[in-house]
Amino acid sequence: MPLWKQDTSLARLDAWRQGTLLETLDIRVTEVGDDYLRGTLPVDARTRQPYGLLHGGASVALAETLGSLGAMLTLDAEREVAVGLDINANHVRAVRDGIVTGTARPLHLGRGTQVWEIRIEDERGRLVSIARLTLAVVPREAIAARA
């Protein structure tokens, strides 16, 4: 049974990219399953560090994007939002070019917090990075009041 409480069409998710880091880095959600989100990040001049390898921060940006989107889609958007509390990532394989793919799955979906695991793999399916993202679930009005 799907986790999602909102429309998960790729067209809708793609529209959210405009004017954000997702657009700048060309992060794209490519698949939504019953209990996961999958997305891609190109390894190119925008996402490499000076030694020519995929920048760990770019991997973390992909991981946080997928986990945050997943968390948001499990909530009632009229009442609550998910905001990042902590992210931890281990980078285990270098990538110089191509596309990496992240898959985000929830480990915990609570009323006050969520924890997501995001696996990032290269084009050969080899693990590049593994991340764990913890988010707070807060009332939408609390975010609006601070803005």
- The CA–CA distances, whole Å, from 32 to 39, 71, 105, 106, 119 equal 9, 13, 11, 13, 15
In a domain? residue 104: yes
Q: What is the pLDDT of residue 147?
A: 62
Range(s) of the domain holding residue 47: 10-146
Count of domains forming the chain = 1
Catalytic residue IDs: 64
Are β-strands 98-109 and 28-32 bridged in parallel, bridged antiparallel, or unpaired?
Answer: unpaired
pLDDT digits (tens, 9 = 90+) for 89-130: 999 999 999 999 999 999 999 999 999 999 999 999 999 999
> Does 14 map to a domain?
yes
CATH number of the domain that 112 lies in?
3.10.129.10
Q: Between 61 and 145, name the one with better pLDDT.
A: 61
Residue bearing the bigger pLDDT, 143 or 35: 35
Inside any domain, residue 3: no
pLDDT band at residue 131 using 50, 70 and 90 as cut-offs: very high
What stretch of H or E contains 117?
A: strand 113-121
Number of Cβ within 10 Å of residue 105's Cβ equals 17
**Residue 4 located in a structural domain:** no
Note whether residue 2 is domain-resident: no
Judge whether 5 lies within some domain: no
Average pLDDT, integer, range 126-144: 93
pLDDT of residue 128: 98
pLDDT at 59 over 80: yes
Q: What is the pTM of this model?
A: 0.95
Q: Give the helix ranges, DSSP H, for 4-146.
A: 10-15, 21-25, 56-73, 140-146
- Note whether residue 136 is domain-resident: yes
Q: What average pLDDT does the structure give for the chain? A: 96
Q: Which residues contact 110 (CB under 8 A, 6 or more apart)?
A: 137
pLDDT band of residue 21 (cuts 50, 70, 90) is very high
Q: Per the domain annotation, does 124 fall within a domain?
A: yes
| CA separation for the pair 118, 120 (Å, rounded) | 6
